[in-house]
Amino acid sequence: MFQRACVRAGVNLTYTQGFNPHPIISLPLPRPVGVESDDDFFCLRVNGSIESFDTQLFQNRLSSQLPAGLKLLSVSVSQSKSLPVPLAAEFLIPVKHTLLNDNARKEKLKSAIDNLLASESFIVQRQAASKKHRDKKVDVRTFIDDIMLNEQGLVVRCNISAGGSIRVDEILFLSGLALDDLSGPVKRNSVRWKLDGLQ
């Protein structure tokens, strides 16, 4: 989508070398399938000098080519060759009001959250992506910074490291929630990044 939007906007993209060149575009933290986001981040490499690059003009031109429902919030220029590194993220898991208004079920959910936060470790087993690899056990407690229950549902703040992070389906499992308990799609509200060389 971004590749086509850039071509329509006349962006002078940098392409890889070789028999089948493609534009250098990257999403450093792709969204999980079925998860909405208010804070996506994408990087692309363009030809030209930093001094002559007009971020506002670029934002206007690219924004005019994006589909409805997608808004380009800001554009920054980086001199670094390394991609931004995600450090943490916040998710909203919307829970049906019928569950939140049911005192017994709400207390059970609170208890599951309290037990999870009080635990020093919480091991889950992740299935291998293919038969060539083995299933592995992962301590996901280290990835959880905080979980709060409000009138909308669960607000989950999680850490992201080189070892990965906790998955949305694991959060649901550990909190005792099923997909039928949700009032809508999970949303990634924000991401904290390590940004080198941005202007």
> Tokens 């086509």, residue?
4
- What tokens were used for 117? 């936060």
CA 44 → CA 61, 70, 77, 126, 198, distances in Å?
A: 15, 17, 10, 32, 13
Domains of the chain plus CATH, in order, are 2-63 (no CATH), 85-194 (3.30.70)
Candidates 164, 36, 141, 159; CA nearest to 94 is 36
pTM greater than 0.85 = no
b/e per residue 79-101 (b: at least 16 CB within 10 A): eeeebbebebbbbbbebbeebbe
**pLDDT in 10s for each residue of the chain, 199 residues:** 888 999 999 988 899 988 998 888 988 898 888 899 888 888 999 888 888 888 999 999 999 999 998 899 999 888 777 888 899 999 999 999 999 999 999 999 999 999 999 999 988 888 877 777 787 888 899 999 999 999 999 999 999 988 889 999 999 998 999 999 999 999 999 999 987 755 4
